[in-house]
Every structure is written in C-alpha cells, then in structure tokens.
C-alpha cells in the first residue's frame, strides 16, 4: 500500500521503508553499531530530502539506543556524572547544529553540506576500519598477537584545569574534554543524523581512559538523550522530522537488529569489521559520485510559500 509521507512530501510503499529499517537494523545488530550513518545515506538515495533524512534518523537512533541504555542502567554500568557532563556539551552542540542546518537550508546548501560531510566521515572511518581489520586478519594468519597499546598513566588531558571527580569511572579529570566531546557529537547528531557512538566509544577509552565496563552504557545514555533533544529541536525549528517515516523505520529496525545480533555472534570480529569497512566505503563512494556526476537537471525548485 502506498502511503504519503507528510513531511518528506513523497509517496512511498510502506514495505520498502520497513525493509530499509530492517536492513539497517540487521547491519547495526550484526556489527554492533548505531546505524545512523548507514540509514541517512540510504534515505537520501531513495529520494528523501537530505534534511528530512537527517532529522528522522535522529529519532530512529533514539529508539535503537533505548534498549541498550536500559540494559546497562539495570547493570549499573553507566557513569551518570560523565553522561551529564557530556550531555551539557551535547545540548549546546545540537542547538548549534540545528541552527546551522536552518541557515544552510535557507542558503540552499544543506543538501551539499550533508552529502559532503558524509563523504568525509565515511571515507575516514571506512579507511581506518579497513586498515585496522586487515592488520588484524594478517596478524591472526601469521599467528602473532597484535601489540596492545602501551599504557600511559598521564596524557595531556591531565594538564587541563576545572577538574572533577567521576566516581563510577574512578577518574579525576578536567571537564573540558568530555564537554568538547559532547559538543562535537551534538553537532554531528544535528547535521548528519548520527548518534556518534563510533567517535564517543574510542574517545572515552583512549582519550578519557574510562574503564571499558562503563563505556558502552554511558555512551548509550548520552546518545539517547542527545538524539531525543535533536529530534525536538529539529521539529521545532526546521519542521523536518517525519513521524510516519520514523515509526515504520523503527518497527523494521527493532526486528532487524535481533536477527543481526544472532548472525553477528557466529562471525569472527575482524572479518565483520572488514565487511563493515567495505560497506562504509561503498556508501561514501556512491555519495561522492552523486556530487561529481552532472545532475539530471542543474536547476532545483523549492516551494517556499503561497
């Protein structure tokens, strides 16, 4: 049955949207990632306006991070102090990002910035993942284990002022790095529709040196709150959240994730990461091609009012 998406202003078949949510949910369950960085480009390829794709994906991530946040909350593996500090940075970041998106839309450049941002993001993340997974596979074949990173007891983070105690993480560090981290991820959430877990998790482990036991839970809570705030702000100032699109995507996503998790558990970690790296690079390449190839019509029309 065809349905008309009220905000995206297009007719779609609801099964295609459900399948899209399911496929992204499957991949995010299999690879253990949020999936926002795959869902937004997929929606853009399908013809959903970039801005609507970005804002609607944010609400999709709210749903997918809910289950994770709940599970970790019950296990008490969440550093709420840390999440709170990052969240205050995140709220400033997402407010700025939503405002920036509005300025870009009015200038007719939101589509370009979203696409170009994705090309850079997917290119960098994909390349890093590809290198890392290939090294890991080579190491397993030759039978040597990779040298783990040397444990540094002090890095530049410890020289920064305004220190604060984070009980759960057993840390006494400056609030500036978590604030900045939250800010950066908040901006990304608003203009690219991603949760930002792929930046948060490594940064919390290697930069803030939080114990790995609380990293996942804290990032889930942070992503849940930031994407929820992003959804409200986007709806309030850009009118670009399509609740019908989001609802169908979420339904597909929650089912897909369950199957993905089961398949993922049977595969080897480095092979999974290699596959994901190839997928990420392919999506980035497709977006780059769309920016470079001569469009069907070099003119575009936006109805702005009566």
Partner 1 sequence: MMRATLFALGLLLLPHAAGAEELVAGLSQDQIQITSSYTGSDLVVFGAIEQPPDIEEDTQPGQRDVVVVVRGPAAMMDVRRKDRIAGIWINNREVTLEGMPAYYYVASTRPLDKIAPPYMLARYQIGFDNVKPQSTSTHKAARAELFRQAVVRERARAHLFTETPSGVEFLGYSLFRVHVPVPAGAPRGQYTAEVYLFRDGVVMSAQSTPLFVDQTGLERNLFNFAHNEPIGYGLAAVIMAVLLGYLSSLIFRQQN
Residues that bind partner 1 (CB under 8 A): 1-7, 9-11, 59-60, 62-67, 70-71, 108-109, 111-112, 116, 228, 231-237, 239, 241, 243-244, 246-247, 250-251, 254, 257-258, 291-292, 294-295, 297-306
For partner 1, the closer CB: 155 or 237: 237
Q: How far apart are the first and last CA of the chain?
A: 31
Distance CA 115, CA 139 (A): 35
For residue 110, the minimal CB distance to partner 1 (Å) is 10
Q: How far apart are CA 135 and CA 289, in angstroms?
A: 29
29/178 with CB nearer partner 1 = 29
Q: In the complex, what is the shortest distance from the CB of residue 22 to partner 1, in angstroms, rounded to a whole number?
A: 13
Q: Which residues pair with 2 in a beta bridge?
A: 13
Burial class (CB in 10 A: 0-12, 13-18, 19+), 257: buried
Q: For residues 4 and 206, which CB has a smaller minimum distance to partner 1 in the complex? A: 4
The DSSP output letter for 206 is I
CB of 293 to partner 1, least distance (A): 8
Pick 13 or 138: Cβ nearer partner 1? 13
- Name the minimum Å distance from CB 258 to partner 1: 5
Instruction: Quote the least distance from Cβ 191 to partner 1, whole Å.
Output: 17
Q: Which CB atom, from 36 or from 177, has the smaller least distance to partner 1?
A: 36
How near is the Cβ of 129 to partner 1 at its closest, in Å? 25
197 vs 153: CA distance, rounded Å: 25
Beta carbon nearer to partner 1, 169 or 227:
227
Indicate the SS3 state at residue 5.
strand
Report the candidate in 30, 53, 102 with the shortest Cα–Cα distance to residue 276: 30
Closest CA to 114 of 127, 124, 101: 101
Dist. CA 179–CA 167, nearest whole Å? 17
């Amino acid at each position: 049955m065809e349905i008309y998406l009220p905000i995206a202003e297009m007719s779609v078949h609801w099964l295609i949207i459900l399948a899209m949510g399911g496929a992204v949910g499957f991949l995010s369950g299999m690879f253990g990632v949020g999936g926002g960085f795959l869902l937004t480009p997929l929606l853009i390829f399908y013809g959903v306006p970039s801005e609507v794709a970005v804002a609607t994906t944010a609400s999709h991530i709210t749903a997918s991070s809910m289950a994770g946040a709940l599970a970790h909350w019950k296990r008490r593996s969440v550093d709420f102090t840390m999440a709170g500090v990052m969240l205050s940075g995140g709220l400033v970041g997402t407010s700025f990002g939503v405002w920036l998106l509005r300025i870009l839309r009015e200038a007719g450049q939101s589509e370009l910035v979203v696409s170009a941002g994705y090309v850079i993001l997917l290119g960098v993340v994909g390349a890093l993942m590809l290198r890392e997974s290939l090294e890991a596979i080579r190491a397993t074949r030759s039978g040597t284990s990779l040298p783990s990173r040397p444990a540094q007891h002090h890095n530049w983070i410890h020289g920064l002022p305004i220190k604060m105690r984070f009980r759960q993480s057993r840390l006494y560090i400056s609030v500036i790095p978590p604030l900045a981290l939250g800010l950066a991820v908040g901006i990304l959430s608003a203009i690219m529709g991603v949760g930002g877990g792929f930046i948060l998790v490594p940064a919390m482990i290697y930069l803030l040196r939080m114990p790995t036991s609380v990293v996942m839970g804290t990032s889930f809570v942070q992503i849940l709150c930031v994407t929820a705030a992003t959804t409200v702000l986007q709806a309030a100032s850009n009118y670009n959240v399509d609740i019908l699109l989001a609802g169908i995507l979420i339904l597909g996503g929650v089912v897909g994730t369950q199957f993905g998790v089961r398949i993922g558990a049977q595969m080897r970690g480095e092979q999974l990461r290699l596959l994901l790296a190839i997928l990420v690079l392919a999506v980035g390449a497709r977006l780059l091609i769309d920016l470079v190839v001569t469009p069907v019509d070099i003119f575009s029309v936006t109805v702005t009012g009566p």
